[in-house]
Amino acid sequence: MFETPMPLWEVFIRNRSGLPHRHCGSVHATDEVMALQAARDVYTRRGESVSIWVVPSTAIVASDPSDKDAMFEPTASKIYRHPTFYEIPEDVGHM
């Protein structure tokens, strides 16, 4: 029997420690209300979360893994962006 597939939603939860929302998995649901309820039941059975985001999976725009080098490689040569690149005399103390 053919059934209409249920849309996929990506689930992000924020735990109690005040960290940012983190991706934890996905759920199937017909709308955002059902997606939130399903996310609560599936991913927060042990007080893992104080906040949930659900996002339609189709709304996520991702970088292409085959572009990884072109995307991220340029930062590797820019060592002057790191504090350790700069020399400060020890006499100055911690900076």
Partner 1 sequence: MYTQALNTKEEAVATRPEDAAKLARFQAIVDVEDKIEPNDWMPGGYRKTLQRQISQHAHSEIIGMQPEGNWITRAPSLKRKAALLAKVQDEGGHGLYLYAAAETLGISREDYCEQLHSGKAKYSSIFNYPTLTWADMGIIGWLVDGAAIMNQIPLCRCSYGPYARAMIRICKEESFHQRQGYEIMITLCRGTAEQKAMAQEALNRWWWQALMMFGPSDKDSMHSADSTKWKIKRFSNDELRQKFIDATIPQGQYLGLTFPDPELKFNASTGHWETGEIDWSEFKRVVAGDGPCNRDRMKVRNAAHAAGAWVREAAHAFAEKRRARMATAKVAAE
36 binds partner 1 (CB under 8 A): no
Q: What are phi and psi of 85, to 5 degrees?
A: -70, -25
What is the C-alpha to C-alpha distance for residues 15 and 17, in angstroms, rounded to an integer?
Answer: 6
- When asked if residue 22 is in the footprint of partner 1 (CB under 8 A), the reply is no
Decide whether 26 or 52 has the Cβ nearer to partner 1. 26
Binding mask 64-93 for partner 1 (x = CB under 8 A): xxx---------------------------
Long-range contacts of 28-33 (CB under 8 A, 24+ apart): 29/54, 30/6
The footprint of partner 1 on this chain (CB under 8 A) covers a number of residues equal to: 23
Tokens of 61: 């725009």
Based on the shown chain and the rule CB under 8 A, indicate whether residue 54 belongs to the binding site for partner 1.
Answer: no
Task: Give, in degrees to the nearest 5, the angle at Cα 94 between 90 and 95.
Answer: 110
* Chain positions contacting partner 1, by CB under 8 A: 1, 3-6, 8, 24-31, 34, 41-42, 45-46, 62, 64-66
